[in-house]
Every structure is written in C-alpha cells, then in structure tokens.
Amino acid sequence: MIPTHWFLILSAILFTIGVCGVLTRKNGITIFMCIELMVNAVNLTFVAYARQFHQLHGLIFVFFVMAIAAAEAAVGLAIFISLFHHRHTIDVDEANLMRW
C-alpha cells in the first residue's frame, strides 16, 4: 500500500505547475486549463485524506468540486467566446476595461 504523503507531494507538484501557468501565460483558455489542473490537485488531496482517515466525506466533496468545476468551465468559456466576439482575441491583457 502506497503511503499517503506521496500522493500529497504529487498533488503539491501538480498544484504548483498550475499556479505557474496562471502566473505566466496570457492565453485565457490556457489559464483556464491551469485552473482545472489546480482543482484536480486539490481533488487528489481530498481522496488521499479520505483513504487515510476512512471517511467518505472527502469523496463526496470531490463529487461537488467536479460539478462546480463543470459549471465554472461552462460559464468561463462562454465569457471567452463573448470576449472573442468583441475583441477578436482571448489575450487576457487585452481585456483591461476594469483595470485600475
């Protein structure tokens, strides 16, 4: 049986890669995919601790996180389609109307 902290370290690595992508990329859809990566890293942590402590709450929370990630992806991609129709780009630096 594989120890729990190995899964946690893998989850930390994946979360860090996602943070790195959000900080350095400019393509809006790539930033969205990096957010999905971070969500999945957190899901892995939930499942690892659920097995460690023999609790089903972690698994059910992962189910809810998946549903909310689906809703977030649908609304976010619709926002990017709308942005593309107005600006003809999805570069997030171009969408600076609400910047200070």
Report the interface residues with other proteins, using CB under 8 A.
1-10, 12-21, 23-27, 29-30, 32-34, 36-37, 40, 43-44, 47-48, 50-54, 56, 59-60, 62-64, 66-75, 77-82, 84-85, 89-91, 93
The letter for the amino acid at 3 is P
3-state secondary structure at position 91: strand
Minimal distance in Å, beta carbon 3 to other proteins?
6
Measured CA to CA, the distance from residue 97 to residue 100 in angstroms comes to: 9
Q: Tell me 94's DSSP state.
A: T
Closer residue to other proteins (CB): 1 or 100: 1
Minimal distance in Å, beta carbon 32 to other proteins?
7
Longest dimension (CA), the chain: 53
